[in-house]
Amino acid sequence: MSAFSERRLQLQADLVAQGRAVLELSTASVECYFTHDQDKARSVIETDDQIDQVDVNIERQSIPLLAMGEKGEFEIRSILTIVKVNNELERIADCAVNIAEFVVAHERPTERIPPTFRVMANSVLGMVRDAVKALDTGDSEVARQVLLFDDTVDRFKGEILLHAQEQVALGAFGVRFAFKLTGVTRSLERMADHCTNIAEQLIYLHSGKIVRHRPEGWSEPQAPIAH
């Protein structure tokens, strides 16, 4: 195995580990929102520093690999994918921190969290989990499942925001609770968007199919490029 391949595989392993850490952080942030566990919320916020440090380390290690002179299409694309996915993972972590900050900044609500929000939160966490799985296995079918959930999450977001507005108008939701619910919902939607970006990059890496600019969305990938 060449020096480039060894370093690329190690960097890939570091990225997968980062993905698992981001999944754990995202799960904790959603849990602390449901339970209003401020200690857990503060832990999420503090852990973000570790995510940021790994993000910087992965990016710094990617640059020398590009300078090693590899000319294979897959090899070059794999490093570019690592850089892009690394950035998306860091942004997912930022969204998790945003949710935790809402918990720390507000008192425990008396209003009931809408059931649709719970379904949306679980769906987004599933997208994060599958994005990390696809990153680890290179399975384009798992990445495809991530893409298929994006429209569903967008629909949930619209339903929740409309419901919050209606409940405020009826006096069932306080303005502060509705503001918090809206902010957390938007953070979850952004997490889903970043997962979609990861899935698109992985599909491109392993199949050569560009899906992010296709108006019809997913189509069956071409045969994987040899590597």
pLDDT in tens, 153-180: 999 999 999 999 999 999 999 999 999 9
Most confident of 23-27, 62-66, 107-111: 23-27
> How would residue 82 be classed by pLDDT, with cut points 50, 70 and 90?
very high
Residue 220: pLDDT over 80 = no
> How would residue 106 be classed by pLDDT, with cut points 50, 70 and 90?
confident
Alpha carbons 32 and 71: distance in angstroms, whole number:
47
Q: Chain-centre distance of CA 219, in angstroms?
A: 22
Integer CA distances (angstroms), 13 to 66, 168, 171, in order = 17, 47, 51
Domains parsed from the chain with CATH numbers: 3-207 (1.20.58.220)
Q: What pLDDT, in 10s, does the model give residues 6-44? A: 999 999 999 999 999 999 999 999 999 999 999 999 999
Q: Is 54 left (phi over 0), alpha (psi -120 to 50) or beta?
A: alpha
